[in-house]
Structure formats: C-alpha cells, structure tokens
Chain A
C-alpha cells in the first residue's frame, strides 16, 4: 500500500512570496489533514477535510493560508504572502473510515522563509 505523498520536500522562499504544497493521501482515505510543525513543537492542525468538504479550519490563518481538496483526493495548501514565522514543516496526513484508526503521515515539506 502506497503511503501519503507530499511535494516538494524542501522549499526556501523570501518573505512576502507565495508557496504551494501538494499532498496525495492513501487511496480510499476520506479524511485528510494539514498540520504545521514548528521546531520543538508538536504538529498543529491547520485544516481537516472529509472528502472534499472542510470539517475544521479553526486554526488556519485565513488571511494568508488557503487549502483545497478538489474531487476529494489530492490536496494543496497555499501560503500567500509568506511571513518569517511560517517557517516550519508542513505535514499532510490521511485516515481511513474505521473507528479508532490512526492517521498516516507523509514525509512533510520543510519550508524556510528568509
């Protein structure tokens, strides 16, 4: 079974630039998550999708962050414009429908904003 795929793995941009991350979840997983992990902290949920609908985006900075999951499969997360404090690893995870099933994480995208 293929895991969660993310690209790019690394990205360096200057502040005020835009950046986009892509995630392909495990086939058949209806739930998809985007997390932000700042160095020394645990992953923080940014947005959760159920199929192509948003379940929770309460911690997404909507003035600069946006995410979509067209057709309920792949997802993209965009930051526009980026700030220095956005430097972090952005993790995508997906989860199946069985009760008590765990989330499967991708390798993450390490973003550095200069």
Chain B
C-alpha cells in the first residue's frame, strides 16, 4: 500500500523552463510534507518542506504547493538549471500521531537539458 505516490518516474525539461514535479498521498493524517533531492552515489538532501496549515512555501527557485482537499502537492523549480538534474523524493509525515516518521515516495528523476 503506497501512501505517497509519484506517478512520473522521469521528467525532462529544457534549461530555463519550469519543472513541475507532482506527488499524491492517501493518508489524511499526514500534516507535514518534504521534498528531498538525491544525486547518484549520495544520500538524499533536504530541499523544502510545507506544513498542512499552509498551501504554499517558497525558497528561492523552489516552491511547493499543497492542495489538501486533493491530497496533492507539487514542487516547482523556476528557472530549471542543469545542476537540478537529480532524483526528487516527496515525503510525508503525521507529526501528531507518529512523531517524525517519514514515508517516502518512489521518486521522480529530473533531467534538465542545457
């Protein structure tokens, strides 16, 4: 039972354009969401997060949008750069019920083409 889904295994985007990575979740108890980026042969690194009390969080070129009614979040990267090429994991946790246990999605591999 996959509680966090990323239905696009891969995505290719031209440099300078917008990258949109999508994530859906099934557990309505999730109240905190994170995006991690992973380069080959490295561990995932934290990118950006959003609490369920917000619908948008921005950090430089990265913006995460949360639609709680649709149980959907998305990560926007604008403008995309070749260094953004990596695997992006969406993750979710239910802080009120299972403090800091995080469920990861399967990841989306982003390729930014120069």
Contacts and interface: CB of A to CB of B under 8 A. Distances in A.
18 contacts: A41-B106, A41-B107, A42-B89, A42-B91, A43-B89, A43-B104, A45-B101, A45-B102, A45-B103, A48-B100, A48-B101, A91-B43, A91-B44, A100-B51, A102-B34, A103-B46, A103-B102, A107-B42
A82 B39 CA distance: 27
Interface string B39-76: 00111111001010000000000000000000000000
- Interface size class on chain B is 20 to 34
B110 to A, nearest CB: 15
Interface of A is mostly: loop
A106 B32 contact: no
A58 to B, nearest CB: 10
Interface residues of A, number: 22
Interface of A: 4, 31, 40-45, 48, 56, 91, 93, 95, 99-100, 102-108
